[in-house]
A and B are shown apart, each in its own frame.
Chain A
């Protein structure tokens, strides 16, 4: 009996591993491509590049792995370098701004009563659910009025005031027990002190969850820079990648992987927080 059970379990695992592998395959594909030499890529891609007949070929792993395309990316393509840093600066600025503005706001919503709180919070929830197409024109009008178009701030500022991280952190701050806050107050702690020394440490998981979700979102930014940044030297990496011609496939692979690595490490380090964040966005208010 026991043995049959374990065979069945193995079958299920095998059956589930297939789609799981498919889900992760793009990483392997990009890594393999970025380690292929120029000649190997050229041979694989020859039907497309030289207009011949036949089809692209591909192998799971590179036949002659080399780091040459990586070196080329780092040393010979200043434009890729600039755009990579644009992505880094934009993402970090947005996340820093969200921390500065959003964390206190989430605390205020979670632990205080003040006039208009309910209405404000409902508006926050509605705004957080609106896709960019709804907010695009309004953001454009403000940014245009402030003469911020074609400046990195045109992407950063609206994102800083995104209401989604406030909602996520709010959910975690609500879990801070009132009894602890009361006892801190009795010990003479003021509002700011309670927030910094009681709220933040206990609700830190929420802050990290919001940061992980935020990073994965803003590292991928496409719509906003496309609309608000005309000057291509300000573009993030995500807009640069699809413009690389397949004749420079080696560079495209190395650049794709350079984009993937930071996101992947944030994912590895923050997976628990990512899951908590996903759940916090769904549980009823």
Chain B
């Protein structure tokens, strides 16, 4: 059904009726105000006067913005590779274990169901200066730390992100693994290829399309670690875990709306570029899952 010129039958327009309520709501609550924010990012909050790139200049010389930006980028660069490798490692084993494997997979998905607000209690017990972790270290004769008020806070946040997202990524990897035909492996084994050789030259190349999708989804999920960071340390955590969302909240409380507008646009553009990348991979690679 390829038509050079698009023609719509009357019946096709019924589709528009199905979509209309959602389109209106999305337009009113998300899209139009987002465009308004873009406009505001080029003007002064109070007078509405056009100021060009002044707001952008202001945020890029703002130490808090630079810190939050640096932390957010550092966080992604550290935790996504760790998560991808670790979840792939587990997925390869779980995929081949049949029933036991799917039971263990459920166990890795459980953290998705544990509300951040609940698990924060465990954190407080573990990472207090007089908490369980320091108690354990003390018994081993190692000097403890004030974990949440030092650079270690960053690593605790990394750990928490991996804990929460491991199951999500394992499910996606297993979907990718099941897409690889068993025949290829059998042919390779007949040719005398070992397990490791099979993994390197069959499994990994075939997972490449999944890799891009999973990385981008993991990145989008990484913004949610703000929840843990906020619940444990409030609006002003240790500077190593001061994230974009903290900064937005604090600007919001100060009603720094023009800075917020410019920073929202910068963040939006950064994410938009990543989505374009993902879309290109979706369109070029076949069968990402």
**A residues with CB within 8 A of B:** 9, 12-13, 16-17, 19-24, 26-27, 29-30, 33, 47-48, 54-58, 100-102, 104-105, 107-109, 111-115, 117, 120, 123-127, 129-142, 157-158, 160-161, 163, 166, 191, 195, 216, 219-220, 222-223, 226-227, 237-242, 246, 252-253, 256-257, 259-260, 263-264, 266-267, 271, 274-275, 278-279, 281-285
Contact = CB atoms under 8 A, between A and B. Distances in A.
A238 B223 contact: no
Interface in B257-289: 257, 260-261, 263-264, 267-268, 271-272, 275, 279, 282-283, 285-289
Interface residues of B, number: 100
24 contacts: A13-B104, A16-B93, A23-B111, A56-B130, A57-B135, A100-B21, A108-B18, A114-B16, A125-B275, A129-B275, A134-B271, A191-B18, A216-B112, A220-B115, A220-B117, A238-B117, A241-B121, A260-B113, A264-B114, A278-B172, A282-B172, A283-B288, A284-B213, A284-B282
Contacts of A109: 15, 19
A115 B8 contact: yes
A260 B34 contact: no
B156 interface: no
Contact of A56 (B30, B115, B132, B272): B132
The SS class assigned to the B binding surface is: helix
A257 B252 contact: no
B140 interface: no
B35 to A, nearest CB: 8
The 7 closest A-B pairs by CB, nearest first: A112-B15, A108-B18, A55-B135, A105-B22, A138-B33, A267-B113, A131-B223
B155 to A, nearest CB: 16
Contacts of A113: 6, 8, 12, 15
A242 B232 contact: yes
Given A160-B25, A242-B231, A256-B118, A16 B172 contact: no
| Residue of B245, B279, B286 with most partner-chain A CB within 10 A | B245
The SS class assigned to the A binding surface is: helix
Nearest to A191: B14
Contacts of A9: 97
Contacts of A160: 25
